[in-house]
Structure 1
């Protein structure tokens, strides 16, 4: 059970910045901080926020005000962090106007979507022979190739020696869900968003709660690199569906989605399904009905399989995996994208099913190709076997 509890590894913090461009269109950019080792507490969050706002101000000089939204994790929902935000506003010259907390299981769709893309990118990097053992390796994996659209990654280290707020006297922190930071450095708080006038705490009251937090001074080992293209945010029309319906028994039924405006892509390598909402993506992953467009890859594998059968020098699955990565078109460009790469285990199953298919159809020409469903079944069997192996180990 050590695989599921007390996990150790590299830490990262993902922040999605949503803004309007000069044409008043909604855009988003993602900024990731990778760490070799870090304690996930309020001071780490404060250090990340200060560095992030400084960088946003650098790349988007017109930004003068920001509003922050996060989940209710203890490192975010605490008085230590709130008491440090006015100082961050002063040092970065960007006014933090408000801090709001999302409801449970809601509010992080954009972060979850980008995390899925970056995890897919890292899995592809490892499948291609790369290693991810340090925060620098993680940064390199995410930005490899064309990177992830709208995502920039840095490597940093928290300087805990600059932490000055050790404790505070702010009471009732757990009941607060919304904060507004006023121009006179007072803070107005609410238990529920925009219900009533709220309670305002003056600057003098806040100063009596704790000492002042000076510059956090996070050490940046590798500055932000990656795609500097801003992603688009399409407003959802009322008549658009959520990609799921309910059958007569009240169970969720997945709907097909081919609309180009869908922004949540399936993290499964090779799957081309996309969805309008993150909840629909989660339903798709739950159902496991992945859609692979691998016709050219199947033709390539079948071709090298046939050559091996005719020549007597059969190609091993590991050699086939390497040939997929090395295959080139006449113009010198890669024949297959990184997302189409298969590992030796997947190719072994494909060759096995192709052999069985040939034996059953001995009267058919040798160039009979497997159907899409056959290759999907191979991948599904591999995934099921992996899950069973993990269950048996634990």
Structure 2
């Protein structure tokens, strides 16, 4: 059952989800509506009259594990402290699995925002996908071992501007133009202040590359430098000053929604490595610009070197309640609307008078301007519709020999898309128009064929199916929404223990093993043989890491 649960969450669940599903487990409108607040709630225009046994396997597996633990016959032989540890691990695993399931629901629903924006994109509009690339480590053409250690990474930020193709070199039918702006930081950190300056510079440079654009839609992940009150307050003020207006800001779930930035980052890194392999060193931001512009440059990519003086960062006065739970923001001339999930509820409206930050931000210096040559050609991706020519060719081929050998399949888990050419696959990944299917996949077919040949496997398979039937479920409305975690202060005893560990790491130079430290909190005993920390004081490895790194 646990293997089937993992298979379902990893591959199958995304193909079951829809905004208008008659199954309560599949309906994202029901799953992401807040029953406690009407502004974040939408009523389904359909009845939830059907069920899905495959989706029920999550709750049934968790119930089965809890039941087996409660009915365990050897519990009396196990020490009470050990039973407490086992019960704690089971409860934590249950919470993690349910969080994983909710994450899958939010991922599919939030990706719909990007799909709808691209489908309705007007000639005067642009979708801007932003992301911080992993810090670039300086490289030398010939590098000694001593040069390899102690490197300091260079921060660089990518902004991919997607517009309707309006260039003679691009076929305008079903094609989107992509201009990627790379800001390389000579000075500054990856905070909201840097992002605010980058967005301001982007709006100033956009008329040179996309003169028709007068409205933009922003999209990024949930990193703290993007998803914060300070940046949203500044953008509302920027809308009143800039010619190009920001209409929306949509946040995606982790590991989703910014495929095109990841692809452009990979292209830029390979271009720099190629330049280094030709006998050059890439040690500074200026070297990175030279490398990215070498050999004709990277198609559709322009670079700039900037410095951001963090001492000029101001303290923003505006406070937005529960900003971390708001995933979709719409900007209006008279205020801002916040929603917890895309298109669900009328949203929470804050008037412009609520935003009290009207000062200009300072501390931005440009060392190397974006340079557009006469031969500059933006990148392009094909915006595929529900049915592409490539898919039709593949279907015809499948009818002949029933195979997909030699074709390029989408690496997204659960996506059915398969292409004949690698360039078509790259376009599909950049656009992110994934097609999830809840039909029987290849692994299921293999299982059924093996079950027919092997009687033992057939019996086990039937027992699994019978064990997951007939269990009623009661799914609450809004179960997939993010919840604000209660803030709980660490006890003085825990702080003292972690501080002693920190001093030991500083003295010896050893790297901390956060998983081991988390286990020590559970297993450490005093001189009387009793546990030194109670259950409420146990911490996860991520909690310990956040404390020790600070």
- What TM-score do you get using the length of structure 2 for normalisation? 0.43
Please name the residue that 1:220 is paired with. 366
> Does 1:229 find its partner at 2:350?
no
Contact 2:250–2:328 under 8 Å retained in 1: yes
> Does 1:39 find its partner at 2:189?
yes
Please name the residue that 2:227 is paired with. 77
Greater shift after overlay, 5-14 or 149-158? 5-14
Please name the residue that 1:198 is paired with. 347
The 3 A distance-change label for structure 1 pair 191 and 158 is: same
SS of 1:224 mapped into structure 2: coil
The 3 A distance-change label for structure 1 pair 80 and 231 is: same
Contact 1:147–1:226 under 8 Å retained in 2: no
Q: Distance in 1 between matches of 2:215 and 2:383?
A: 23
The 3 A distance-change label for structure 1 pair 181 and 276 is: closer
**Pairing 1:1-394 to 2, within 5 Å after superposition:** 8-22=152-166, 25-166=175-316, 168-184=318-334, 186-207=335-356, 211-216=357-362, 218-225=364-371, 228-237=376-385, 238=387, 240=391, 243-244=408-409, 259=421, 261-262=423-424, 264=426, 276-277=428-429
Q: Distance in 2 between matches of 1:54 and 1:167?
A: 26
Q: Distance in 1 between matches of 2:219 and 2:153?
A: 26
Contact 1:234–1:261 under 8 Å retained in 2: no
Q: Distance in 2 between matches of 1:55 and 1:245?
A: 34
Contact 1:46–1:216 under 8 Å retained in 2: no
Contact 1:181–1:188 under 8 Å retained in 2: yes
Contact 2:239–2:246 under 8 Å retained in 1: yes
Per-residue CA deviation, residues 46-81 of structure 1 (Å, 9 max, x unaligned), is 000000111002333322111100011110000000
Aligned length: 259
Per-residue CA deviation, residues 210-258 of structure 1 (Å, 9 max, x unaligned), is x334144521100013673122221235363793389xxxx99x99965
The 3 A distance-change label for structure 1 pair 256 and 189 is: closer
Contact 2:338–2:347 under 8 Å retained in 1: yes
1:278 deviation in Å?
A: 6.5
Q: Distance in 2 between matches of 1:88 and 1:279?
A: 28
Structure whose residues are more often helix by fraction: 2
Contact 2:214–2:244 under 8 Å retained in 1: yes
Per-residue CA deviation, residues 322-370 of structure 1 (Å, 9 max, x unaligned), is xxxxxxxxxxxxxxxxxxxxxxxxxxxxxxxxxxxxxxxxxxxxxxxxx
Q: Distance in 2 between matches of 1:255 and 1:263?
A: 8
- RMSD over aligned CA atoms reads 3.3
Please name the residue that 1:284 is paired with. none
Contact 2:410–2:418 under 8 Å retained in 1: no
1:83 deviation in Å?
A: 0.2
